Amino acid sequence: MTWDVLNIIGTIAFAVSGALVAMEEDYDILGVLTLGLVTAFGGGIVRNILIGVPVTTIWDQGLLLKTAVIAMAVIFLMPKGLIHHSKRWLNFFDAIGLSAFAIQGAIFASNMHLPLSATIFAAMMTGIGGGIIRDVLAKRKPLVLRDEIYALWAMVAGVAIGLKVADTAPELYVLFGLIVILRMVSVKFQWKLPRRTL
């Protein structure tokens, strides 16, 4: 149940995030669908490639594909005023998708009995992979490569699940909320990782 809920939450959040970015960049409906789908499924595909799971498993996710398309259609057909209002929520949608998919990726790796390092990596790639692909296709600097704290929160989810700190459904939901809050707080207060320029 937890797995299914996280899948649905993450898929809707990232599909909406991708659709909003596509509309900001004045893409047509095909561009909106493409950007939404790669945002929602790109991270999982990258994760599967890196941990040895067949990429073709994406075609077993018919319900999630339909859910993503419906979410994007709703956003695309919204009145312009509501879309502009929704754009202000882009960071929030991104935080929800990051949290849900990072946890889902960590659970995936943990269920395969992979080591802690692989669980952390799976959480990070599932959480940030789709967003990186989205930003590259939209000709933006990938959010995760900027000085905002982003990938770190996905790694926190991987550590918590890999060390069995969050194992039961209630614990996973608490972790989900915590990652969303940490991401939004880091945006609000502009927390940054150390950087060095030349």
Query: Over the stretch 18-28, which tens digit does the pLDDT of each residue have?
Result: 999 999 899 99
pTM score: 0.85
Strand partners, 56: none
Confidence of residue 120 (pLDDT cuts 50, 70, 90): very high
**Choice between 58 and 40, residue whose per-residue pLDDT is larger:** 40
Q: Are 70 and 163 in contact (CB under 8 A)?
A: no
Q: Are 32 and 19 in contact (CB under 8 A)?
A: yes
Mean pLDDT of 99-108: 92
pLDDT at 1 over 60: no
Mean pLDDT of 15-40: 93
Tokens 């989900």 map to which residue?
176
